[in-house]
Structure 1
């Protein structure tokens, strides 16, 4: 039985991959029809949406009963496990609410798990019940992810936190390239915007320069532990929040630097229950 709800994770990144090699990797011919490559003019116009600003405080809770007493103006909670009533209760207390979804991995415990064909499921991402998705297959994944994002919108969420957005840096079982990841991440951002919600870039630090204009904020795990927080400054420079969590460092080790960089930093437990320490 899982000890948490949702699939946030520390990164199983192949950190030895040089950035230039990743960015120049070949695209090849993708399986399926890449509907994510449609011309933007053919899509419905994006609705206006909330945009969190640098330094905003936040609470990240993906397991347990949501504790609405935490004094934070932004809550990030599981999109499947939490209902419209919970979102409305947070809105009644003048909070903005982010919908956590896994968009890059298949989770066998989700209610729509059977809709994902075996052909798009790859290797385990290191968490029980989760496998990487073949993000090249936008013909299969786009409608499935749009249904998930529609669910968030129907429940009243203000934004989406799409997880597992850096498969190209991991051993997924598929020959994913940086180009595949850029296309897929932009597709997810476009879907969220079409449904009137903000969207955050989860980890994927090497592609921040290419993606900062497509996303409204960033969500990062452990940039202080891996001495990477400076790489998130393009979001801050663009007036966009960086929602940052550490798990293993004491707050005294990362909060001074977080304040200098204007990151929205928390110390959390890996199970992402209600417990937190803010900077």
Structure 2
């Protein structure tokens, strides 16, 4: 992880509805008839650090699963599906957390997040049993979509887990999201975008610092205009206005402060293109 209300919007209100046929061979068929993708090119805000009234120009808002969705905006529910959330390690059974030499394997960039162990089908099923009700809760709260963070946790596992392990869990989580009428957003993991879309069934992407890491094209090649991008003030490769003008800049792009603070905080930054 680089980081981390209203009623459900009608299918026609935000344009593109994606209907999945049960006979598709590449991607798992959801139980729901259709999900709604984020409106292409709509301005986003990323509010994981705390919910607040969005700017009038904002059409897409991402908030933590413990928050309410933003009234009148396409709302994305953040779920940490592959690592423990800060302060929540104690709620996870020890056998579902990856360990090495008797200690939890920790995300080196986030010392309060332990990696969940996706290495066996049994453990993946147990993880899905925990995360599933969170997804259902997102739908019941009125969110339109859910993003699953830390899809790339296998890269921090020292070889204990593989991309295949995380794709298998992601497939289950995406199917659950679709069954509850939620679109499913891939979070980061640019190197596996094609696989996560075709095999796990992700519908769109939520990406952090794709300009800083020169990854925006990897997402756009798969999801087209349905890429929600966040850049951070402390790692801009060039001025934000220049990023906005770049040929490969995602149409839905926002500049935020790293801690995703709320308005009134001295560190708060929120800026849109144009």
Measured against the shorter chain, the TM-score band is 0.7 to 0.9
Are 2:228 and 2:250, in contact at CA under 8 Å, matched by a contact in 1?
A: no
| Structure 2, gaps ≥5 residues long | 5-27, 99-104, 263-268
Q: Which has the higher strand share?
A: 2
- Deviates further, 59-68 or 160-169: 59-68
TM normalised by structure 1 equals 0.74
Unaligned runs of 5+ in 1: 1-6, 11-39
User: 2:112 matched to 1:140?
Assistant: no
Aligned-pair Cα RMSD in Å: 2.4
Separation in 2, partners of 1:232, 1:50: 19
Instruction: Give, in whole Å, the separation in 2 of the partners of 1:266 and 1:138.
Output: 34
3-state SS in 2 of match to 1:165: coil
In structure 2, the residue matched to 1:244 is: 229
Residue in 2 aligned with 1:209?
194
Alignment partner, residue 266 of structure 1:
254
TM-score normalised to structure 2 length: 0.75
Q: Which has the higher contact order (CA 8 A, sep 6+)?
A: 1
User: In the TM superposition, what whole-angstrom CA distance separates every residue of 1:29-82 from its partner, at most 9, and x where no partner exists?
Assistant: xxxxxxxxxxx68xx7224221124322111111234133442111101111x1
Q: Measure, in 2, the Cα distance between the counterparts of 1:196 and 1:108.
A: 28
Q: Could you say if the C-alpha distance between residues 174 and 47 of structure 1 is closer, same or farther in structure 2, counting changes exceeding 3 Å?
A: farther
- Residues paired across the two proteins, number: 229
Q: Secondary structure at the match of 1:106?
A: coil
Q: Distance in 1 between matches of 2:170 and 2:193?
A: 11
Instruction: Determine the structure 1 residue equivalent to 2:96.
Output: 120
Quick one: distance in 2 between partners of 1:47 and 1:148?
Answer: 21
Please give the residue correspondences for 1:6-155 in structure 2 after superposition, counting only pairs within 5 Å.
9=3, 45-80=31-66, 82-83=67-68, 87=69, 90-91=70-71, 94-110=72-88, 113-122=89-98, 123-125=105-107, 126-136=109-119, 137-155=123-141
